Amino acid sequence: MLESTLSYLFVGENSGPKPGGALCPLTPSRQCDSVWGVTASVPELVPYGESIRIPQARDVRVTERVRAVIDHPDFQRLRRVRQLGPTHLVYPGAVHTRFEHSIGAYGAVQRFVTSLLRNPTFASSARENDILAVLAGGLCHDIGHYPFAHSLEALHRRGRETPRHEDLAGLLIRRGIGDILKRSWGVDPERVIRLIQWKREQHTDPLDRVLSSVLSSAIDADKMDYLERDSAHLGVPYGQSFDASRLIGSLTLNEREDALAIHAKGKIPAEMFIFSRYMMFSETYWHHTVRTASVMVEGALADHVTRLQPDVDVLTEHLLRMGDDEFLVSIRGDAPDDSVAARLLHRMTGDQRLLYKRLTTYSRVYQEEEKRAAYERLYALEGDGLDEVMKAIGERLGTLCGIAVRPGDVLVDTPPRDKDHPETVDVCYSGVRGKKSYPLHELSGVVAGVHRDFVQVVKKIRVFVSPELAKRARTMQHRVEEAILEVVLA
């Protein structure tokens, strides 16, 4: 049993046993003993026993204490929260949930940790409670997600107070799941919360920085799961275009030993991973029709929050009781018949799919100076500024097209700002003189290009309008585009 377990741990991510029958790629053999000592004390890393089957035909090893977390009502609630919000209105298969992804991310953390235990520094410093803390972080990293969280969180740019799902993760862990982690896992719930919520640089302990980067970095367990999972459910190949086994097998620590890095053999898989993420954002997550559905939800939620100004704690409890469809129906039921929320959600609920249409697009890559200026102007807007621009565009289009344009008939979709500086990962070389590591984007024109194109090309700003207005406006497309440009730059 010991031999078969070590074979899984140290050979499963590589091409086969090492010469001479050694099962551990590290020498001397005491490294195997050290690693096995940690692994044997963490049954969640042992590759046999009870498991949960999730797509794509993957078994995720679970123990009784893992089951206790999964069976908790706060975790079961994630079954009613779709992973990709309104994306199913464009890609019918996108009905998978945060519940499925959370189990998948936990399984990815298992694989990451198993690979890292081959690193002498990590193996000698990581103890049972360290491993369990990052496993718990992977399992619970999305516990605070609620229906259309990203759309509601975007309202902060408009000055509306709405809950952040990272903050709610701490709330939910402290009020219930934390007792399971403390009693059955022997893990400090506050440490798990910090691993979920804090950026790597905020941690003072080097090991916690490493564990944090397993959960959130350029190449982390969360991204590895959602890229493959979303791609499979959406029916596109982009998120499955990287060699996951080779990439996981190349994991190591950076020179400072406080973050994930990759061996040189993992350079190509890492390029493929980063390019896969770029393609998923370009072709699916930020596809113009997906963004149409998202900005309609955001507009309805903005109207609801502005009109009712609910207490953030009351809103939080409301969100945590509902799934996606329940929440939209609830918002529509609370909205006056002619409100923005009612008119937008009428097109998206009750078996309706009448999405807004794209009228014009701005990008930093455009050659026209005015269009680039319009992009920067819209991108910089805060608070009520964006609402004022949408109102002004609506008034101008109403005059130009000779029809009444109501509030909410024009929606401007601006991309989130948190992806302006794509992350990188160090590539480490052994047995060389001089510099032993380089950031991947310095070694790879592919990755450097992805970083540039993500900001310049993929992060588009679009103006969407109701189908009725779009039909009229498209008969005079050139004049309409000029009018919108004048309003934005005014």
Residue 19 has pLDDT above 70, yes or no: no
| Tokens representing residue 198 in the block | 């804090």
Sign (positive or negative) of CA dihedral 236, 239, 241, 243? negative
- Global confidence as pTM: 0.88
CA distance 249 to 263: 9
pLDDT per residue over 195-211, tens digit each?
999 999 999 999 999 99
CA distance 147 to 80: 8
pLDDT of residue 283: 92
CA distance 455 to 221: 24
Residue listed under structure tokens 């991947």: 440
Render the burial of 156-188: b for 16+ CB within 10 Å, e for the rest: ebbebebbebbebbbbbbeeebbebbeebbebe
pLDDT of residue 212: 96
pLDDT of residue 294: 92
- The side-by-side arrangement of strands in the sheet containing 437-439 is 251-253, 260-263, 426-428, 437-439
Residue listed under structure tokens 């990272």: 166
Q: What is the mean pLDDT of residues 58-70?
A: 94
Decide if 222 contacts 105 (C-beta within 8 A): yes
Length of the chain: 490
Torsion-angle region of 20 (φ positive above 0: left; ψ -120 to 50: alpha; else: beta): left
Mean pLDDT over each residue of the chain, to the nearest integer:
87
Q: What is the mean pLDDT of residues 212-222?
A: 95
Task: For residue 158, name the pLDDT band (cuts at 50, 70, 90).
Answer: low
Sign (positive or negative) of CA dihedral 108, 109, 114, 118? positive
| Tokens representing residue 156 in the block | 């902060």
